[in-house]
Structure 1
Amino acid sequence: MSNEGLNSRMPAYKKTFASGEIQKTYQGLVGVVQNLRTDFSKIFENEYTVANVLHGYIDFTYFYLQNDYLKKRKLKFAIVLNHQQAHFEFWLLGQTKEVQISYWNKLKGFRWVNSEEMPKFSIFEFVLLPAPDFDNFKNLSKSIHGAFGLASKEILNTLKAYK
């Protein structure tokens, strides 16, 4: 990336940040994910270890969930807020790219796995909650917990069936 190209984008960048709306919205969304993480750690405390919320770039905010079964196989689940799409996704991740490729090849035939192309950061990813109501956290949280509970059971059963 040349400095000239970056410099030419600075006026639009400054304008975007000038009102403060981007910062407030981003902080609010990260807060939603942090509250979800807290709920997950309580609701699923006997099933999963729930990691801290991770965010660095403005594209995704997420947290990992892992149990002994997943850990032994170098896998993790992730609840991901996709900022560009403004929805929640469920990802299955591998500890290394090799682990991800191996599991993607094993699971290609399943409905939640894109058999044409492996995602950049995961084995698979699918929309968990397509149109979240960010103003009603109680319903948002309940919807995500329910969808995660069903999907995680199905995925774990599939993983156990296809060693």
Structure 2
Amino acid sequence: MDKSLNDYVEIYKAELDKGDIQIAYEQLLKYVMALKVHFQKVQPDSYTFGNVYLGFMDYTYFYFFNDFLRSKKLRFGIVLNHPKMQFELWLLGQNAEVQSIYWELLKITKWNAGRTAKPKYAVLEAVLIENPDFNDLDALSDKIGTAAQSIIQEIMPYLQD
């Protein structure tokens, strides 16, 4: 038998009463905000950065783009995938039409291998760090930045006219 909303709320309240979830969630959000600042310092003239979006305990992300990506109505996002607890790079389209165009272009690439349908929110999702070590945030930021830059350099030629 399925649980009712009251059942889920009781479980949720019990977990909140422990206090660990709030601390972990707050620290993860602070880290993603600091990660955005790190990216801005490392790439100060290369990209324009958007705000950090908190999501619904599923994804926390910030996006960034340059003039070329803007002209294509695209942006990249650095995403903390909460259920998988990993960092990902997403290529995002401005609207459904743009997403469809770039899904058709990129669905046969290695980043979409094995997918039969477009990801829910993005045109492309690539894992940056599968098992992040949150005990050394500076090293983690460097690893995310290096991985993101490498994948971006691989993706960009596919986006050229």
What TM-score does the superposition give when structure 1 sets the normalisation length?
Answer: 0.92
Query: Matches of 1:107 and 1:12 in 2, distance apart?
Result: 41
Identity, % of aligned positions: 41
Unpaired runs of 5+ residues, structure 2, are none
Residue 135 of structure 1 pairs with residue 135 of structure 2: yes
User: Which SS does the other structure have where 1:25 is aligned?
Assistant: helix
Q: Give the letter for the 1:88 counterpart.
A: F
Query: Matches of 1:112 and 1:8 in 2, distance apart?
Result: 39
Equivalent residue runs for 1:2-41 within 5 Å: 5-41=4-40
Deviation per CA, 1:36-61: give whole Å up to 9, x if none: 00000111111111112110311110
Q: Which residue of 2 aligns with 1:45?
A: 44
Q: CA deviation at 1:138?
A: 1.1
Contact 2:106 2:124 in 1 (8 A): no
Query: Matches of 2:9 and 2:130 in 1, distance apart?
Result: 32
Q: CA deviation at 1:8?
A: 2.9
Unpaired runs of 5+ residues, structure 1, are none
Contact 1:88 1:129 in 2 (8 A): yes
User: Which SS does the other structure have where 2:16 is aligned?
Assistant: helix
Contact 1:60 1:81 in 2 (8 A): yes
Equivalent residue runs for 1:112-151 within 5 Å: 112-114=111-113, 115-151=115-151
Query: Matches of 1:62 and 1:81 in 2, distance apart?
Result: 6
Equivalent residue runs for 1:42-81 within 5 Å: 42-81=41-80
Query: Matches of 2:82 and 2:10 in 1, distance apart?
Result: 22
Greater than 2 Å deviation, 4+ residue runs: none
Query: Matches of 1:123 and 1:19 in 2, distance apart?
Result: 38
User: Which SS does the other structure have where 2:135 is aligned?
Assistant: coil
Aligned length: 158
Deviation per CA, 1:85-116: give whole Å up to 9, x if none: 11100100000011111100111221112441
Query: Matches of 1:56 and 1:10 in 2, distance apart?
Result: 19
Q: Give the letter for the 2:61 counterpart.
A: Y
